[in-house]
Amino acid sequence: MEKYTQKMKPELKYIELKSGFGDNGPAWIGMAEFSKSGRTVYFNGKALKNSNAQGIAGNFYDLENGDEYWISGVKKNGTDRHWAGGGKIMIDRKVVDLYLSQVDFDKLDKNRFEIVDIKPTDKQKFAELENEKIN
């Protein structure tokens, strides 16, 4: 029970949009923040809620529009995308060094990665949205 009451630290995550794209959706690597329960992930201006394996292709869904996302830790060998997927992975400029310290290579392949600025998420906005649904 203790883990739910303490604030969870942000973690480096691989996040891929599945809805409408299958295994070729836009994908990001960046720091994800968590709700106190750990069931909501805040990333790039979005609140992504754990779907309890109810999703078709994703394990989280967008609280605002229902889009499905796949969220996982980053893989040491850099093969975060599904084997059948493709496309560049956008990586937050602020986490490049951290990412490289966790993988088996020492520089980003420009054919596989694009360095971007990932925007922060207004967690209060989503807390109000969720409370609105309950009332």
For the segment 27-47, what is each residue's pLDDT rounded down to a tens digit?
999 999 998 888 999 999 999
pLDDT, mean over the chain:
89
pLDDT recorded at residue 90 = 98
pLDDT recorded at residue 5 = 44
Show the domain range for 73: 2-134
Overall domain count for the chain: 1
Q: What are phi and psi of 32, to 5 degrees?
A: -105, 140
Residue, of 127 and 118, whose pLDDT is higher:
118
Mean pLDDT in residue range 82-89: 90
Q: Which residues contact 19 (CB under 8 A, 6 or more apart)?
A: 25, 57, 58, 66, 67, 68, 69
